[in-house]
Structure 1
Amino acid sequence: MEVTSPRTDTSTDADTDEKNQMFNDGQMVGLATSDCSDRSKEKTGDQKTLRRLAQNREAARKSRLRKKAYVQQLESSRLKLTNLEQELQRARQQGIFISGSGDQSHAANGNGALAFDIEYARWLEEQNRHISELRTAVNAHASDAELRIVVDGAMAQYDNIWKLKSNGAKSDVFHMLSGMWKTPAERCFLWLGGFRSSEILKLLANHLEPLTDQQLSSIRNLQQSSQQAEDALSQGMDALQQSLAETLASASPIGSGTSGNVANYMGQMAMAMGKLGTLENFLHQADNLRQQTLQQLHRILTTRQSARALLAIHDYLSRLRALSSLWLARPRE
């Protein structure tokens, strides 16, 4: 016989209901936990997206700066090639030829002017590299410490040209003073083998604003002292030329034949040679004035102002070289 107990049935139904309730509660807790987790993941994903976008913008900005520097480097290389072609043409006009089968370095060492021209072309290439780095640092808003390193490198590069010119003057001072190693437009503004410091200071006036009153006063005094030194050197050079002309004019003609006249002629020519020896000193003083002016200007200005000044000077000289290229390439009737 099967006996059914009401108590047993009731207990079983209650247990089932309790289990169902616990299952439902567990599902709700699980859903709530899952929802919180989804929101946390979504928030984390948004932060990653923002970081990625910021990184992409920074990468794009750096890419634009690199592209601009590359274009500027290409332009500098083009100007350098034009300058080298002009130097080669001038060398040919002066009767300087280098054999294709010979040792070019030996031929260059045999001629001081040509040796200097080769070294100057290398210096110009290195100068363009320094200026490209400086321009990139300025456009990228580099820190003062980083910018100071680049500025010091560009200033040191100018010191190298003074050393090159000093060595070149020992071989051929006339080549240095005539500026045959520069382009025609640069030679138009040449003063004792280089630029006038006072003119460069005038050029920078519109590129360094804003300046403090003390900076303006210091730059004004520097320009005045540079002008006075330039005038003194120019007067000394004029006096040397006049004295040299008088010495040559007073020499007796060598064709007169007497031993006394020959001795007088040789004595006058020796005196003229001695006076010509002071030309190297004039060139050295002019380059020393240019070097000191740049150094004093660097001390007056801030790091960023010095960077803008170096860029302005380089751009001015580059425009002169570009003007020469356009002039030489102009159509002729």
Structure 2
Amino acid sequence: MFQRGTTVSMATGNQHVENWADDGHPTEDTCTDIDTDDKNQCFSTVSWCNGVGDGALVVVDSHDQSKTRVKAEDQKTVRRLAQNREAAKKSRLRKKAYVQQLENSRVRLAQLEQELQRARQQGAFIATGIPGDRGHSSVANGALAFDMDYARWVDEHQRLIIDIRSAINSQMGENELHLLVDGAMAHYDELFRLKSIGAKVDVFHILSGMWKTPAERCFIWLGGFRSSELLKIVRNQLEPLTEQQLMGIYNLQQSSQQAEDALSQGMEALQQSLSETLSSSSLGPSGSENVAEYMGQMAIALGKLATLENFLHQADLLRQQTLQQMRRILTTCQAARALLVINDYVTRLRALNSLWLACPREY
């Protein structure tokens, strides 16, 4: 309770409120410069506390404190929402950039394939159009014909692989699967026949693997795959195998490795012989005698070069026999799975090559 005659005054901004207590009864409240609503708020938000330190008067505005707390919480929420929106925006931008990069890579890959096809066609056309250059034109046309035959072979091979994969997944009968495996093996024989024809026209084209992707050419050996490496891949993927099968695969791998080493040594000897022939000091064409000797030496070099076709034939024969021996060692289901393993390995090499070509370059 306040003592008689005590005057309490509170001023806030432009507001002024006074209370008088002369006889113990409150007098009429006066609130200037504020409207009725502000006047009511003025009295509803003020708490009076007596007895705090020598009768001091403490005024606490609870509404302002509550509003301050709400404002601080609202600011935190606003900041958190803003941060979330910024993070979502950055995520959308990164995703958009990634999708755009993939699309650019796809378009670039398609352009490269079109340019390669045009270059091959133009090369064949130019070679054909040069008068008196029938040798070059026939070689170019022969290489192009082989590339087209090989592309058709790949398409047909993929169809056979799809049939085999579907047969394994659907648990097709032994007889039906046996026919599919034999069909795929015969299809490999067709590839070796095409390579033999192509080598007669341009043995360098077949040996260098220009009909394959660059990634495949990194692992090429005498115009094709190494039989020993192929057996190693198959053996690691076809578990479990019986002891007899493991021994058969191991012996076949060892014999293939020995044959590959022999052919590689023969190729090195041929290259050395050609190098010595071409670097002979008597090949300087000055004078009629030297010219005749020069032509004789070049004829010898051409004769040695002709043995390249035999090396390619021996390498393909080794690959063909390795596939046939592997087929005899394995069961029909295992042979089907082995064909899938070989195809998957080659497919990954081609995919690796496509990714490499699609990667952006810094110049």
TM-score, structure 2 as length reference: 0.64
Distance in structure 1 (CA, Å) of the matches to 2:281 and 2:195: 33
- Matching of residues 110-259 of structure 1 within 5 Å: 111-250=141-280, 252-256=282-286, 258-259=287-288
Distance in structure 1 (CA, Å) of the matches to 2:248 and 2:125: 50
Which of 297, 301, 308 aligns to 1:279? It is 308
Cα distance, 1:206 vs. partner? 2.2
Aligned equivalent of 2:66: none
Change (3 A) 1:127 1:286: same
Cα distance, 1:183 vs. partner? 0.2
Question: Helix, strand or coil: the match of 2:236?
Answer: coil
Q: Which structure has the highest strand share of the two?
A: 2
Distance in structure 2 (CA, Å) of the matches to 1:176 and 1:245: 21
Asked whether the equivalents of residues 146 and 198 of structure 2 are also in contact (C-alpha less than 8 Å), the reply is yes
Question: Helix, strand or coil: the match of 2:360?
Answer: coil
Which whole-Å deviations, capped at 9, do the CAs of 1:174-229 have from their partners, x for residues lacking one? 00011010001000001000000000111112221111111000100000000000
Which whole-Å deviations, capped at 9, do the CAs of 1:64-111 have from their partners, x for residues lacking one? xxxxxxxxxxxxxxx9xx799648617727961549xx9xxxx89961
Cα distance, 1:331 vs. partner? 1.0
Aligned equivalent of 1:35: none
Change (3 A) 1:298 1:114: same
Distance in structure 1 (CA, Å) of the matches to 2:233 and 2:313: 24
Aligned equivalent of 2:326: 297
Distance in structure 2 (CA, Å) of the matches to 1:174 and 1:187: 13
* Structure 2 residue runs without a partner (length 5+): 1-105, 130-136
Cα distance, 1:171 vs. partner? 0.4
Cα distance, 1:129 vs. partner? 0.5
Q: Which of structure 1's runs of 4+ aligned residues deviate more than 2 A?
A: 82-88, 107-110, 251-255
Question: Helix, strand or coil: the match of 2:361?
Answer: coil
Question: Helix, strand or coil: the match of 2:241?
Answer: coil
Q: Which structure has the highest helix share of the two?
A: 1
Distance in structure 2 (CA, Å) of the matches to 1:83 and 1:160: 29
Change (3 A) 1:189 1:245: same
Cα distance, 1:255 vs. partner? 3.7
Asked whether the equivalents of residues 139 and 201 of structure 2 are also in contact (C-alpha less than 8 Å), the reply is no
Identity %: 65
Distance in structure 1 (CA, Å) of the matches to 2:331 and 2:158: 22
Aligned pair count reads: 246
Higher relative contact order by CA 8 Å / sep ≥ 6: 1 or 2?
1
Distance in structure 2 (CA, Å) of the matches to 1:263 and 1:108: 28
Q: Which has the larger radius of gyration?
A: 2
Change (3 A) 1:151 1:91: same
Change (3 A) 1:97 1:110: closer
Aligned equivalent of 1:270: 299
Asked whether the equivalents of residues 192 and 286 of structure 1 are also in contact (C-alpha less than 8 Å), the reply is yes
Distance in structure 2 (CA, Å) of the matches to 1:198 and 1:295: 14
Amino acid at match of 1:297: M
Distance in structure 2 (CA, Å) of the matches to 1:205 and 1:163: 27
Question: Helix, strand or coil: the match of 1:111?
Answer: helix
Moved more, 190-199 or 204-213: 204-213
Cα distance, 1:259 vs. partner? 1.3
Distance in structure 2 (CA, Å) of the matches to 1:280 and 1:85: 31
Change (3 A) 1:85 1:207: same
Q: CA RMSD in A?
A: 2.5
